[in-house]
């Protein structure tokens, strides 16, 4: 499993770099409809989804993966406010910078300071959600135990 994950990470990183998506200017060229439009990101996404389609559909129907690990895909849950609010925040950050988590990791070895600042801040944002979640879980638990 570890070796497979390392291999998949290598393949994923190579794909991000080859597609040019580690370059925020190319991502913003797609998002900024007010300027000259660069459809490259759409080609990346379409090719990635088409390549992954059959394998993910097959994997989704299996209980165990080929290496014997349990298939742990997200369970079907309703579309709720948390999903939409979180995605909206994500989009604002993406539109401000032109970076999202995968390309940001792939751009770290370029040693550009803004990328490192972005990733540090990204980790802080993730940690904030984690701590907030833990606090609300404790509050709920306390509510349950209060007669």
Residues in region 70-129 near other proteins by CB under 8 A? 70-74, 76-79, 82-102, 104-110, 112-115, 117-129
In the window 30-49, what residues touch other proteins (CB under 8 A)? 31-41, 43-49
Q: Which is nearer to other proteins, 31 or 147 (CB)?
A: 31
Closest contact distance (angstroms) between CB of 99 and other proteins is 7
- Cβ atoms 41, 21 nearer than 8 A: yes
Kindly state the number of chain residues that form the binding site for other proteins, as judged by CB under 8 A: 118
Q: Is position 4 an interface residue for other proteins (rule: CB under 8 A)? A: yes
Structure tokens belonging to residue 109: 């070895």
Closest contact distance (angstroms) between CB of 97 and other proteins is 4
Measured distance CA(10)–CA(27) in Å, rounded: 21
In the window 11-30, what residues touch other proteins (CB under 8 A)? 11-26, 28-29
Q: Which is nearer to other proteins, 42 or 139 (CB)?
A: 42
Q: Which is nearer to other proteins, 73 or 140 (CB)?
A: 73
Residues whose CB is less than 8 angstroms from the CB of residue 60 and which lie 6 or more positions away in sequence, other chains included: 71, 73
CA of residue 101 relative to chain centroid, distance:
6
Measured distance CA(30)–CA(36) in Å, rounded: 9
- Cβ atoms 13, 7 nearer than 8 A: no
- Cβ atoms 64, 139 nearer than 8 A: no
Closest contact distance (angstroms) between CB of 142 and other proteins is 19
């Amino acid at each position: 499993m570890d070796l497979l994950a390392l291999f998949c990470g290598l393949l994923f990183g190579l794909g991000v770099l080859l597609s040019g998506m580690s370059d925020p200017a190319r991502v913003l060229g797609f998002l900024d409809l007010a300027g000259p439009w660069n459809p490259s990101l759409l080609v990346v996404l379409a090719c990635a989804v088409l390549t992954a389609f059959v394998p993910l559909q097959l994997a989704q129907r299996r209980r165990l993966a080929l290496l014997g690990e349990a298939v742990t895909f997200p369970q079907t849950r309703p579309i709720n406010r948390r999903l939409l609010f979180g995605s909206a925040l994500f989009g604002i950050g993406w539109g401000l910078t032109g970076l999202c988590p995968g390309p940001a990791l792939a751009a770290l070895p370029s040693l550009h300071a803004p990328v490192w600042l972005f990733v540090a801040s990204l980790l802080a944002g993730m940690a904030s959600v984690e701590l907030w979640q833990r606090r609300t879980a404790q509050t709920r638990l306390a509510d349950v135990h209060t007669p």
